[in-house]
Amino acid sequence: MSIKKISKKSIVLNKVPDGTWANTNIAEIFPAAGDTKMSCGVHELFASEIIVEKAPVDDVLYILEGEMEIDSDGVVEKFEAGDFAYLRAGARQVFKIRDRVKHIYVTYPCNWITDK
């Protein structure tokens, strides 16, 4: 299949029950277990600090709402609605959210689910 459409009506955020991203909400639009080479979705995070010791994939984020600070291998940047972020695979990442942030993510390759 050379094109796929996902209707906005079908995008539903679900709570992540455990693992690194526990107690966040996610809608996997093109899931990591799917038939695409990339994954994509919407992720909502609440006040927290989340540490990823070694990022399994390259990641592009587009911030829809709110703001967060990301430390990637010691380089710290603040992101807010309208900003893009590129995060390199293999980096140690620390996500700091003071209140709430919602973003679109696109990953490559499509194998980011490493802890369940």
Could you give the domains of the chain? 24-108 (2.60.120.10)
pLDDT digits (tens, 9 = 90+) for 60-78: 999 999 999 999 999 999 9
Q: Which residues contact 10 (CB under 8 A, 6 or more apart)?
A: none
| Prediction pTM value | 0.88
Q: For residue 113, name the pLDDT band (cuts at 50, 70, 90).
A: low
Cα separation, 38 vs 59, in Å, equals 10
β-strand 75-80 against 84-87: which pairing, if any? unpaired
Q: How large is the average pLDDT for residues 85-101?
A: 97
